[in-house]
Structure 1
């Protein structure tokens, strides 16, 4: 027992002496402070977007034994010597490494440029580098079915009423969203409006040199069925090839599964949130702006049909070059419209001789009412003209007698007007600035 007490006492004395010696030596530390340093390298970008934005950091510090990394993206600090870090999005980040050595600490900050999928032009336009929302084009041939070599058109038509408000959402992080806004036009249920169908939770974009970009949807998260963009037609490998795109338009093509290579093609436009003031400003240019029917070959500037299918009765054709292609319509911020036929007006089905050039029906400074679209029909805004056609009209003389025109789509370079209240026949016009 005495021997054990002696041993413990000796150990206690030794610890005290050691602590005293350490304290003394602390006052006499010698040597250099640590010097922080690092290099970095982003892992090579993939041709499948979005790819992980991963950066490997290599510590090149000296005289150090502790490390602290601040990656500049509000993520937790790291104490690893040479960490690998994944950034959520691309950009420029101030990355700071602090090192601790035997005689002090040292820090170094470098700007680390992280390249993300938005460096790709298509991905940038598809997603807005955050969220890109797309809906159906208002064109009368927004949906096409083509021969395998794309030389023959088996079907061309506009989006159905319960399709036209579908929204397809592409997030820059690779997640995918679908809003049916009430119903899905279901090919598998006899081409009819049905309850909303589930869709893919994610997507990827494949971009390879000298090839068109492809959008590939992931399988459904739960349940049976196949994901889709546009119609619910089942396409090979859930893959859609990008035929062309702009910041506001997108055309996709896919191969129908088990149909001998038959193609299906869709046109979309980017969803933009416009106020009535924005719409009026685009319509009038902020003062006065002149529009004309789009004379471009294949534009199908005039189509006729129903609200559910605006091209059902007439899918479009060339304008009459003698008396239709030079018609102009000028809208002012004071809610006045002027029509100039430049000598002759094209007669519709309500003026004899039908469907031919007739007398000049120009009018000037006619007041119209501009406001929100009501009644549950499509339209960003509505123009109500006084009187009845053919005294006052836009587009053709035989538009519906209610003389109401809904702005279906508008930008600085394009406007789509739909004449009619949606209850009967509708006339749709594609116009461009003069």
Structure 2
């Protein structure tokens, strides 16, 4: 009987120890480590947007990579979303966005520390394209149809003059003109010998070379940006001498081509001009 009591006591003690051990280790998970989420980014300019590629560090414990990009309303309230170890997202506006990686694995789900993704504003991208970051020279594109058109308004930019019907129609003294924009907001016009002066008594005349400051900012009306030349002597212009005022709106721009609209929304006449990088 004494041995039986001893065996029962040992059994109860062993059970208590086993329960205590199980309780101590029980964390409510499957026992694998919670996957840590870290990532890197690379970016490139695409038109007037910025494309960012996000790459998560590989982790054998992760079976799902989930991203929030910080520029909308995602599941965690922080942005538009995607899944995959490597994903690409296009930011259409500038600013600082907090991107986050969410990983799911055998050990559960975890959120990475938010990472600031700094996106340049579209104006900064336009300025970069206009000046190449330092200085860039443009010319009227004499290789295309209708490099210059004229109309009464933004809604109708062509009815006054539809432009040359074939490439190569610009006067030689206009086709060789050069327009240089610096990142320091300085505009230089080089006539290359003669300036084409518009009007009934115009034609190729003495050069009107000039250098003047310009302001750069958001377009008023149609356009992705706006250039306003400062008054100077001779009177500065881009493309045509009879442009309405000193305001030019950039309708579109790439690394090689630009479409300018001379004339504000209140000008009563607009000149659209196609330019190309020299």
TM-score range, shorter chain: 0.5 to 0.7
What's the CA shift string for 1:386-427, capped at 9, x where partnerless? 227972111100000x31001111110111111111221001
Q: Does 1:353 align with 2:201?
A: yes
Q: Name the residue aligned to 1:161.
A: none
> Following the alignment from structure 1 to structure 2, what is the Cα–Cα distance between the partners of residues 388 and 337?
11
Of 338, 358, 368, the match for 2:188: 338
> Following the alignment from structure 2 to structure 1, what is the Cα–Cα distance between the partners of residues 163 and 234?
21
Q: Does 1:315 align with 2:158?
A: no
Total equivalences in the alignment:
171
Going from structure 1 to structure 2, the CA distance change for 1:314 and 1:390 (only over 3 Å counts) comes to farther
1:45-64 to structure 2, matched below 5 A, reads none
Of 175, 200, 214, the match for 1:325: 175
Q: Name the residue aligned to 1:409.
A: 252
Contact 1:326 1:342 in 2 (8 A): yes
Q: Name the residue aligned to 1:138.
A: none
Contact 1:390 1:397 in 2 (8 A): no
Structure 1-normalised TM-score?
0.35
Structure 2 counterpart SS, 1:281: helix
Q: Name the residue aligned to 1:301.
A: 147
What's the CA shift string for 1:39-96, capped at 9, x where partnerless? xxxxxxxxxxxxxxxxxxxxxxxxxxxxxxxxx778xxxxxxxxxxxxxx9x999xxx
Structure 2-normalised TM-score?
0.54
Contact 1:389 1:397 in 2 (8 A): no
> Following the alignment from structure 2 to structure 1, what is the Cα–Cα distance between the partners of residues 225 and 262?
12
Q: Name the residue aligned to 1:427.
A: 271
Structure 2 portions without partners, runs of 5+: 1-62, 66-81, 93-119
Contact 1:414 1:430 in 2 (8 A): yes
Per chain length, whose mean CA-contact separation is higher, i.e. which structure has more relative contact order (CA < 8 Å, sep 6+)? 2
> Following the alignment from structure 1 to structure 2, what is the Cα–Cα distance between the partners of residues 325 and 391?
19
> Following the alignment from structure 2 to structure 1, what is the Cα–Cα distance between the partners of residues 217 and 171?
33
Q: CA RMSD in A?
A: 3.2
Going from structure 1 to structure 2, the CA distance change for 1:410 and 1:357 (only over 3 Å counts) comes to same
> Following the alignment from structure 1 to structure 2, what is the Cα–Cα distance between the partners of residues 353 and 391?
18
- 1:385 Cα deviation from its structure 2 partner: 1.0
Q: Name the residue aligned to 1:208.
A: none
- Runs of 4+ aligned residues of structure 1 deviating over 3 Å after TM superposition are none
Q: Name the residue aligned to 1:289.
A: 136
Structure 1 portions without partners, runs of 5+: 1-71, 75-88, 94-128, 134-272
> Following the alignment from structure 2 to structure 1, what is the Cα–Cα distance between the partners of residues 135 and 89?
35
Q: Does 1:279 align with 2:126?
A: yes
Q: Does 1:369 align with 2:215?
A: yes
